[in-house]
């Protein structure tokens, strides 16, 4: 078996951004990587970077449950039925006022960002159960702290992911499987419009952050029982404010002042 007893990680959305940075980091640390994405050219270059002996790559549409099961079966054949870390990372972004969004875009957001995560967890659970100390890890978002205007449905899918993670972190204890997520802010990936990235604050919770920072959170999460990983850490302030003063936060968002706050301000 190519994994040869190494720990293993299965990553969706691995061809670029957070997924690619995570694949690189885990490969550097000696893990066997399963890298899956719809972007097959991106996977080809990733395989060249980390080495074919250190990974298995394949095309995957996370909205297709049977395809997900087939991808995991191919991965498990390389690892002897082991899966130390499932990283449900694949996601898409669609923005704009809710009343102006095509309903097809709304449905696609739900299919990829929520149904895709459900497909992954449900399909991978037998492997996670079979692997001592395994972790089910998912990319949520800072928009899961409070519903964000102009990305309302995206935000809703990420709220769902966060709630699902919290529930499963309790349920999965019965199997010895942990569950956790990451709530990234403004990460320098293709999902962020170039104009937004160029105009991002230089400091504060919504400063532009490299994908490697999220990859590091995934790495740290494997050795921790922490539930939510905020990147950057100041995003946690937003989560607390959303719980303690939701009306005040609503008014800040409506006034457009949220993204100008300094570190530590709530």
Looking at residue 87, the DSSP 8-state letter turns out to be E
Instruction: Please state at what angle helix 17-28 crosses helix 211-222, rounded to 10 degrees.
Output: 50
With 0-12 CB in 10 A as exposed, 13-18 as middle and 19+ as buried, what is 31? buried
Tell me what percent of the residues of the chain surpass a pLDDT of 90. 83
User: Does 112 fall in a domain?
Assistant: yes
Q: Is the pLDDT of residue 263 over 50?
A: no
Tokens of 96: 């704009």
| % of the chain with per-residue pLDDT over 70 | 94
Is the pLDDT at 193 greater than 90? The verdict is no
Domain that includes residue 216, residue range: 8-260
Question: Taking Cα atoms as reference points, which of 68, 84, 74, 69 lies closest to residue 5?
Answer: 84
Rounded Cα distance, 37 and 185, in Å: 22
Q: Under a CB-based contact definition with an 8 Å cutoff, are residues 162 and 146 in contact?
A: no
Q: Catalytic residue numbers?
A: 154
119 pLDDT higher than 50: yes
Cα angle 243, 234, 187; round to 5: 110
* DSSP code for 89: -
Q: Is residue 250 part of a domain?
A: yes
Q: How many domains does the chain have?
A: 1
- Region of 256 please: left (phi>0), alpha (psi -120 to 50) or beta: left
| 42 pLDDT tier (thresholds 50, 70, 90) | very high
pLDDT at 205 over 60: yes
- Residue 182 sits at φ, ψ, to 5 deg, of -120, 140
Q: How far apart are CA 142 and CA 192, in angstroms?
A: 13
The answer, yes or no, to whether residue 52 has pLDDT greater than 60, is yes
Q: Is residue 3 part of a domain?
A: no
Do 234 and 204 touch, CB atoms closer than 8 A? Answer: yes
> pTM (2 decimals)?
0.93
Q: What is the pLDDT of residue 262?
A: 36
Instruction: Decide if 24 contacts 215 (C-beta within 8 A).
Output: yes
Region 224-234: mean pLDDT is: 97
pLDDT at 53 over 90: yes
Query: Does residue 90 contact residue 112 with C-beta atoms inside 8 Å?
Result: yes
Q: How much is the pLDDT for 207?
A: 85
pLDDT reading at 259 higher than 60:
no
Tens-place pLDDT, residues 123-144: 999 999 999 999 999 999 999 9
Rounded-to-integer distance, Cα 61 and Cα 234, Å: 33
- Beta strands (DSSP E) in 105-160 are 135-139
235, 234, 218, 224: which is closest to 13 by C-alpha? 218
The mean predicted confidence, pLDDT, of the chain is 93
pLDDT tier for residue 154 given thresholds of 50, 70 and 90: very high
Rounded Cα–Cα distance for residues 111 and 103 (Å): 12
Say if residue 264's pLDDT is above 60.
no
Q: Indicate whether 1 belongs to any domain.
A: no
Within a domain: 154: yes
- What mean pLDDT comes out for the span 58-77? 98
**In the block, which residue shows the tokens 């962020």?**
192
Residue 162 belongs to a domain: yes
Over range 102-115, report the average pLDDT: 97
3-state secondary structure of 186: coil
CATH number at residue 193: 3.40.50.720
pLDDT at site 79: 98
Asked if residue 216 is part of any domain, the answer here is yes
């Amino acid at each position: 078996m190519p994994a040869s007893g190494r720990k293993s990680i299965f990553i969706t959305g691995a061809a670029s951004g957070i997924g690619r940075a995570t694949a690189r980091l885990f490969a550097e640390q000696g893990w066997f990587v399963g890298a899956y994405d719809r972007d097959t050219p991106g996977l080809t270059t990733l395989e060249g970077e980390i080495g074919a002996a250190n990974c298995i790559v394949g095309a995957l549409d996370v909205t297709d449950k049977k395809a997900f099961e087939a991808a995991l079966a191919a991965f498990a054949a390389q690892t002897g039925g082991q899966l130390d870390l499932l990283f449900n990372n694949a996601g898409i972004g669609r923005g704009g006022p809710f009343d102006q969004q095509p309903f097809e875009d709304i449905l696609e957001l739900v299919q990829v960002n929520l149904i895709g995560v459900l497909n992954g967890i449900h399909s991978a659970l037998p492997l996670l159960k079979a692997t001592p100390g395994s972790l089910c890890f998912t990319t949520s978002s800072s928009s899961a702290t409070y519903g964000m205007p102009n990305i309302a449905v995206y935000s809703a899918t990420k709220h769902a992911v966060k709630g699902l993670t919290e529930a499963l972190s309790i349920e999965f204890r019965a199997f010895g499987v942990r569950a956790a997520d990451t709530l990234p802010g403004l990460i320098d990936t293709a999902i962020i419009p170039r104009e937004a990235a160029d105009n991002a604050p230089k400091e504060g919770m919504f400063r532009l952050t490299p994908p490697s920072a999220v990859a590091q959170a995934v790495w740290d999460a494997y050795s921790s029982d922490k539930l939510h990983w905020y990147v950057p850490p100041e995003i946690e302030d937003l989560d607390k404010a959303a719980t303690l003063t939701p009306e005040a936060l609503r008014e800040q968002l409506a006034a457009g002042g949220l993204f100008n706050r300094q570190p530590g301000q709530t």
